[in-house]
Amino acid sequence: MRVNSHRFCGLLLAAACFATTLTAQETVSTQTGKVKGASADGLIAFKGIPYAAPPVGDFRWRPPQPAKKWTGVRSAADYAHDCMQLPFPSDAAPLGTPPAEDCLYLNVWTPSPRAAAPMPVMVWIYGGGFVNGGSSPAVYDGSQFAKDGVVFVSFNYRVGRFGFFGHPALTKESKDGLLGNYAYLDQIAALRWVQSNIAAFGGDPHNVTVFGESAGGMTVHVLLTSPLAKGLFQRAIVESGTGRKGGMGGGPTYLHQSTGTKPSAEEIGLAFAKAKGITGDDAAALKQLRALPAEAVVDGLNMASMMKAASTYSGPMIDGKIETEDHVDAYTAGTQQHVPVILGANSLEMGFKNPNTKEDPFAQFGPKADAARAAYDPDHTGDYTWTTGAIFSDKGMVEPTRFVAGLLAQNQPVWEYRFSYVATSMRNEWAAGAPHASEIPYVFDTVKARYGAALTPEDEKAAQTMHAYWVQFAKTGSLNPPGLPEWPQYSPSTDLIMNFTAAGAVTGADPSKARLDLVMPQQ
């Protein structure tokens, strides 16, 4: 067989040019130095890029400081440490790295080759009750977003007492008053890094979508209302992170002042210090606190022990500068950022509690007990263990999501969803509904990492569908992906939502309306 030598040489030259271009795309110059990512399967992943200095030593309990510049090319092939914590054994998103206090790093996935025009950016904020979580879990892998033309970013932020801590000595030390909510400051610093650097990865800093689940979703509400986050993103998604004012914790914690229900974060910080044998509210006490080993600061705190640790751990607080008010107050006044928002909840967010009698779940409804029984047990199944969980779930997250959607809809485009799909392999165990966090691998299209050999084509299709809506939102700010049902904007007058079910993506009136109307607080 004769080969056209000119054509053959041309093909070799094209291949060489492509290899050179790909190699060039693997190395990106950020404002602090060059990083080299890893190419695979039509994308390049850059992991472990520092966006701030390590928050250790004298930088513990300070706002994130600028990352130091480096020379040469830094490898970005592997995740850095997730932030210091005591991992939660039954976490649905187990960490992929050992936790450490040196943890302020981020990751970027980008298509390869890149599009000629700047691409939309999505920034993920993980959940974990603000005491657990990290960016390394396999279900948070950003590959599918990159394959669909999105530049995806995830990052670590401080959790537990590293992320939220008040103490009078810190107040005295601070010159700018940015105190207490160090985790939120980390998140804002990561978003500022995106604004300054993402164009080098092919991303559009003027088309950024922030999205998070659980504590990450709660954070999105803070970002929508914090004066420090204005202009850092153009769209937002809240997954299972919406509550009414004060949430289920009995009201917010304030940095400097106690309330009728809660001590101040400073008082809680003093209690933690005292438990460690440290007294006083001066620089000497703060020096001792910063010298504590990281494990002593964690002190057994995680999702399983949060309630027991309430006297020595404040969690997020209203500090007046970073978080200025409850998000419901801001939405009622209309002072939030007026950007498009998706928000939703899963069909059975909360756990179960066995009732003492079959009447227990309905007693709380008083004269509406019969209506509640009809709404929660229309088929007279008598599964009252499920009923207690469903009522708790509706009160704690599903109804508040509808309420907040209605507030936001007064000022900006809003879409509400319900995630009701249960993986094929879990339908016996989760017969009552989709539990908290179970939507994440569908949003990311990482169901293979979550369910492994038990994955079915039906599960894969459900993931491809939900993922397509999130990608479409990031690209266009609308929710009408080709070949899928159109998702109408939310309005309290129509109460239309998107329900992700075993039958597919279904648009219609909220199927839980009767239940939600019953648990809705009197306005």
Percent of the chain scoring above 90 in pLDDT: 85
pLDDT at 316: 97
pLDDT at 156: 98
Planar angle of CA 96, 99, 105, nearest 5 degrees? 80
Task: Please give the structure tokens belonging to residue 215.
Answer: 């504590």
pLDDT at 23: 54
Catalytic residues: 214, 349, 436
Residues 6+ apart with CB under 8 A from 64: 51, 52, 53, 55, 104, 182, 185, 186, 189
CB-CB contact of 246 with 224 (8 Å): no
Q: Can you give the pTM of this predicted structure? A: 0.94
3-class SS string, 144-168:
HHHHCCCEEEEECCCCHHHHECCCH
Q: Is the pLDDT of residue 1 over 60?
A: no
Q: Is the pLDDT of residue 88 over 70?
A: yes
Confidence of residue 283 (pLDDT cuts 50, 70, 90): very high
Q: Find the range with the poorest average confidence among 21-35, 87-101, 164-178, 270-284.
A: 21-35
Which tens digit of pLDDT belongs to each residue from 123-155?
A: 999 999 999 999 999 999 999 999 999 999 999
Which tens digit of pLDDT belongs to each residue from 394-409?
A: 999 999 999 999 999 9
Rounded CA-CA distance 21/26 in Å is: 9
CA distance to 42, 51, 111, per residue, from 38 (Å): 11, 19, 12
CB-CB contact of 54 with 108 (8 Å): no
Rounded CA-CA distance 358/376 in Å is: 12
Other C-beta atoms lying within 10 Å of the C-beta of residue 426: 15
Q: Is the pLDDT of residue 447 over 70?
A: yes
Mean pLDDT score, 204-221:
98
Return the beta strands (E) in 275-402 as ranges: 341-346
pLDDT at 60: 98
> Domain residue spans in the chain?
28-339, 349-397+421-523
Identify the sign of the CA torsion 514, 519, 521, 522: positive
Q: How far apart are the first and last CA of the chain?
A: 84
348, amino acid identity:
L
Give phi and psi for 109, each to the nearest 5.
Answer: -115, 135
Confidence of residue 14 (pLDDT cuts 50, 70, 90): very low
Angle between helices 283-291 and 265-275 (to 10 degrees): 60
Q: Is the pLDDT of residue 3 over 60?
A: no
CB-CB contact of 422 with 438 (8 Å): yes
Cis geometry, peptide bond prior to residue 441 (ω within 30 degrees of 0): no
Give, in words, the CATH class of 28-339.
alpha beta
pLDDT at 187: 98
Task: Please give the structure tokens belonging to residue 219.
Answer: 């954070």
Return the beta strands (E) in 134-226 as ranges: 151-155, 203-213
Angle between helices 182-197 and 215-225 (to 10 degrees): 70
Q: If we measure between CA atoms, which residue out of 149, 139, 117 comes closest to residue 481?
A: 149
Q: Is the pLDDT of residue 377 over 90?
A: no
Q: Is the pLDDT of residue 47 over 60?
A: yes
Rounded to the nearest integer, the mean pLDDT of the chain is 93
Rounded CA-CA distance 495/504 in Å is: 19
pLDDT at 50: 98
pLDDT at 378: 84
The SS3 of residue 519 is helix
297, amino acid identity:
V
pLDDT at 19: 41
pLDDT at 24: 56
Q: 318: which strand partners?
A: 254
